[in-house]
């Protein structure tokens, strides 16, 4: 779907939309018939509310839509743009022109956020649908924002951020027979044209380095693992300290020998959501030429239960030299992350390291699908991430860490075990990862298990992949690393 900004309405538009504030209904009197339409529909300009009618305008029948923007703040503008796109996407409308005159808006940021919401909500994956009913097919091709306000600077950032979010959604949506460690790397290759540099470790190189934890997860699969590092440096300083992002990339998770129940296992194609968010963030940062140095690392494996698969009770040696008793092969994400984090610290010497993972079902039990869990060894970093999440629309809720939880993962036969028992599962998983974070590194772990996929439409996404994490990380980088 194409987004354009124009000072005048095109005569080709078959749909005319009017943004309306909750206290701006009187402004509709400037357009004949709209005030009466609003009254009949009991439309009061509530954010995201809409009402539709048809009228003859300039000698042609056109669809007329009122869309509420509430008080008209940036967040409400984003939701309103998304609501309009959702209403029109398969409606038969092809070209919509949105007027902000009745709303009396004078904010470039607000106009750009309206476009951002429309762009995000207009995304959906359709490449595998060959027999879609006619009325389910996308018709909306273009949205014009009719305004004399110059929002080009704001849109330059948000349009690239939208591309990053949509790239993450694409990766998360793909089935595991299409997206696996090697093909994940190839899907990311176009980022090189944007100035992102790649480092890829194959199975042999990881074995040479001693990544026994990550390789133990991968050994039951015919799909070979990869460690992908993507670096963007927009500072002009090769010695600038990078922010390092590490994503769990289990492209399909059967649970291994500790196999999952069959019902719902198909959802485990999105167990690479953390790596997907990292890739989308790198796409957004490179696209908008962020003035920061950021390294995105994806630990990519498939967890399968063949005759060579890791067994419960096996002991593996991680890259850090610490040994791990694997009591449950379905607690595999932390095994991938620990080696990726150790390699990241040895290679890039970061001061800030953030990992993202669809790590525990316990997180969904705790928070449902409203927040991702946040764990951190640094209060300042935790506060910065929480604030970024609030502003970006990717909310976080902080959980505790502590010695009492850490003791739950002590093993009688190795340095640690990979599960801590029935209770506090998300916390003990975070404690496990914390054992691999070096002194002096500010670290945060984001458990995004409940956020990467939605069973019903949300404000800026349809059912399916949400793209969670990209807006959060982009905002965090903008606020803390770009001066």
89 is a domain residue: yes
| pLDDT over 80 at 32, yes or no | no
Q: Are residues 105 and 164 in the same domain?
A: no
Domain stop point among 120, 144, 168: 144
152 is a domain residue: no
322 is a domain residue: yes
Report the SS3 class of residue 466: coil
10 is a domain residue: yes
Q: pTM here?
A: 0.96
Number of domains in the chain: 2
- For residue 104, the model assigns a pLDDT of 72
Q: Are residues 310 and 395 in the same domain?
A: yes
Which residues belong to the active site?
Answer: 260, 334
Taking residues 275-297, report their average pLDDT. Answer: 98
Cα dihedral 33/39/40/42 (nearest 10): 140
Lowest-confidence range among 6-10, 87-91, 151-155, 464-468?
A: 6-10
- For residue 106, the model assigns a pLDDT of 65
Q: Are residues 453 and 358 in the same domain?
A: yes
The neighbour count for residue 41, using CB atoms within 10 Å, is 14
| pLDDT over 70 at 357, yes or no | yes
- For residue 29, the model assigns a pLDDT of 63
- Report phi then psi at 189, rounded to 5: -55, -35
- For residue 262, the model assigns a pLDDT of 96
- For residue 210, the model assigns a pLDDT of 98
Lowest-confidence range among 97-106, 379-388, 401-410?
A: 97-106
Q: Are residues 61 and 172 in the same domain?
A: no
273 is a domain residue: yes
| pLDDT over 70 at 30, yes or no | no
Say which CATH number the domain at 74 has.
3.40.220.10
Q: What is the mean pLDDT of the chain?
A: 95
Report which of residues 24 and 197 the model is more confident about: 197
Q: Are residues 328 and 390 in the same domain?
A: yes
**How far apart (Å, rounded) are the C-alpha atoms in residues 480 and 471?**
14
pLDDT band at residue 361 under the 50/70/90 scheme: very high
- Report phi then psi at 376, rounded to 5: -155, 150
Q: Are residues 99 and 225 in the same domain?
A: no
pLDDT band at residue 38 under the 50/70/90 scheme: confident
pLDDT > 70 fraction of the chain, expressed in percent and rounded: 97
Report which of residues 117 and 100 the model is more confident about: 117
Lowest-confidence range among 236-240, 337-341, 431-435?
A: 236-240
Per-position DSSP letters for 42-81, written without gaps between them? T----TT-EEEEEEEETTEEEEEEEEE-TT--HHHHHHHH
Taking residues 278-285, report their average pLDDT. Answer: 98
Q: How many helices (H) and strands (E) does the chain have?
A: 14, 19
Say which CATH number the domain at 362 has.
3.40.630.10
Domain stop point among 93, 110, 144: 144
- For residue 34, the model assigns a pLDDT of 78
Q: Which residues contact 236 (CB under 8 A, 6 or more apart)?
A: none
Taking residues 89-110, report their average pLDDT. Answer: 87
| pLDDT over 90 at 244, yes or no | yes
Taking residues 448-464, report their average pLDDT. Answer: 96
What are 141-177's pLDDT values in tens digits?
A: 999 999 989 999 999 999 999 999 999 999 999 999 9
β-sheet bridge partners, residue 68 = 20
| Tokens standing for residue 79 | 């939701």
First to last CA, the chain: 33
What sign results for the dihedral spanned by CA atoms 197, 203, 208, 211? positive
Q: Are residues 190 and 289 in the same domain?
A: yes
Per the structure, the complete domain to which residue 247 belongs is given by: 159-480
């Amino acid at each position: 779907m194409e987004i354009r900004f124009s000072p005048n309405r095109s005569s080709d538009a078959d749909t005319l939309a009017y943004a309306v504030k909750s206290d701006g209904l009187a402004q509709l009197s400037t357009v004949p018939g709209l005030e009466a339409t609003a009254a009949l529909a009991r439309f009061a300009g509530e954010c995201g509310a809409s009402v539709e009618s048809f009228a003859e305008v300039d000698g042609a029948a056109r669809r007329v839509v009122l869309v509420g923007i509430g008080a008209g703040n940036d967040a409400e503008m984003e939701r309103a743009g998304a609501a309009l796109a959702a209403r029109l996407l398969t409606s038969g409308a092809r070209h919509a022109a949105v007027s902000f005159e009745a709303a009396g808006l004078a904010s470039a940021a607000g106009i750009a956020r309206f476009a951002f919401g429309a762009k995000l909500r207009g995304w959906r994956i359709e490449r595998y649908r060959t027999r879609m009913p006619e009325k389910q097919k996308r018709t909306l091709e273009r949205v014009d924002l009719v305004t004399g306000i110059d929002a080009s600077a704001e849109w330059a950032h948000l349009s690239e951020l939208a591309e990053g979010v949509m790239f993450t959604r694409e990766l998360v949506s793909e089935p595991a027979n299409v997206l696996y460690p090697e093909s994940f790397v190839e899907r990311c290759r176009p980022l090189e044209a944007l100035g992102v540099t790649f480092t890829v470790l194959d199975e042999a190189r990881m074995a040479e380095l001693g990544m026994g934890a990550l390789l133990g997860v991968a050994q039951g699969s015919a799909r070979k693992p990869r460690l992908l590092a993507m670096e963007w440096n927009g500072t002009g300083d090769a010695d600038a300290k990078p922010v390092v992002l590490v994503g769990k990339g289990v492209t399909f998770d059967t649970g291994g020998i500790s196999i999952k129940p069959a019902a719902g296992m198909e959802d485990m194609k999105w167990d690479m959501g953390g790596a997907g968010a990292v890739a989308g963030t790198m796409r957004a940062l490179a696209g908008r030429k962020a003035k920061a140095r950021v390294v995105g690392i994806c630990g990519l494996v498939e967890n399968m239960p063949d005759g060579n698969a890791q067994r419960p009770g096996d002991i593996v040696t991680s890259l850090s030299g610490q040994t791990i008793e694997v009591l449950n092969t379905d607690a595999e994400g932390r095994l991938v992350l620990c080696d990726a984090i150790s390699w990241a610290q040895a290679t890039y010497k970061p001061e800030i390291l953030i990992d993202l993972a669809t790590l525990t079902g316990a997180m969904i039990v705790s928070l449902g699908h409203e927040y991702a869990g946040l764990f951190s060894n640094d209060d300042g970093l935790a506060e910065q991430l929480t604030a970024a999440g609030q502003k970006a629309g990717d909310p976080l809720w902080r959980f505790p860490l502590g010695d009492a939880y850490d003791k739950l993962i002590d093993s009688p036969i190795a340095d640690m075990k990979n599960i801590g028992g029935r209770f506090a599962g998300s916390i003990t998983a975070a404690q496990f990862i914390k054992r691999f974070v070096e002194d002096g590194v500010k670290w945060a772990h984001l458990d995004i298990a409940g956020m990467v996929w939605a069973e019903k439409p949300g404000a800026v996404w349809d059912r399916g992949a949400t793209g969670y994490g990209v807006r959060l990380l982009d905002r965090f980088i903008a606020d803390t690393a770009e001066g």
